[in-house]
Structures are given as C-alpha cells and as structure tokens.
Amino acid sequence: MILTALKSYLIKNKRAPLIDMAHHFDIEPDALKGMLEHWIRKKKVRQIEGLSCTKGCCQASQVNLEIYEWVD
C-alpha cells in the first residue's frame, strides 16, 4: 500500500528529499529508504545527492540532502 502511495507522491512531485517524504508519510527515513530501494531496483527512482539546505525551506539539517527522483 505505501509503495503505491510513494510512487504517486514521487510522480506528482517529480523530486523530493528523503526527510520531506518521511514527514509526509510519518515514517522513519531508514524505513522509507527500504521502500525506495524497491523502486530503485525497478529503475523507476534514482537518488540524487543534493546540496546542504540553509534556507529553512525543508526539514533537513546542515547535511547533504538525499533527494529521490521518479524516472519515467
């Protein structure tokens, strides 16, 4: 169930930081990574290393963001 919700979320948003998705689905980031791996194995999602967030627009701290992108 959450796999399809995650798919829909990424299709709608195109890209999203791991931490934002974790907050959206109210799930631990490590658990969400496991679900994202399902889509990565199917070559539907790829991970993009983002830059540090300093604007306060997301829930990330001063570390590199893990951004995931849906691949059509």
So where are the chain's domains? 2-70
Q: What single-letter DSSP state applies at residue 14?
A: S
If you write DSSP's letter for every residue of 22-64 in order, what string do you get? Answer: HHHHT--HHHHHHHHHHHHHTTSEEEEEEEEP-SSSSS--SSE
The fold of 2-70 is Arc Repressor Mutant, subunit A (1.10.10)
> Which residues partner with 69 through β-bridges?
15, 46
Q: What is the dihedral of CA 11, 13, 64, 38, to 10 degrees?
A: -20
Each residue of 18-42: pLDDT tens digit?
999 999 999 999 999 999 999 999 9
Integer angstrom CA distances of residue 36 from 24, 43, 45, 57: 14, 11, 7, 23
pLDDT tens digit sequence for 3-21 = 999 999 999 999 999 999 9
State the pTM of this model.
Answer: 0.78
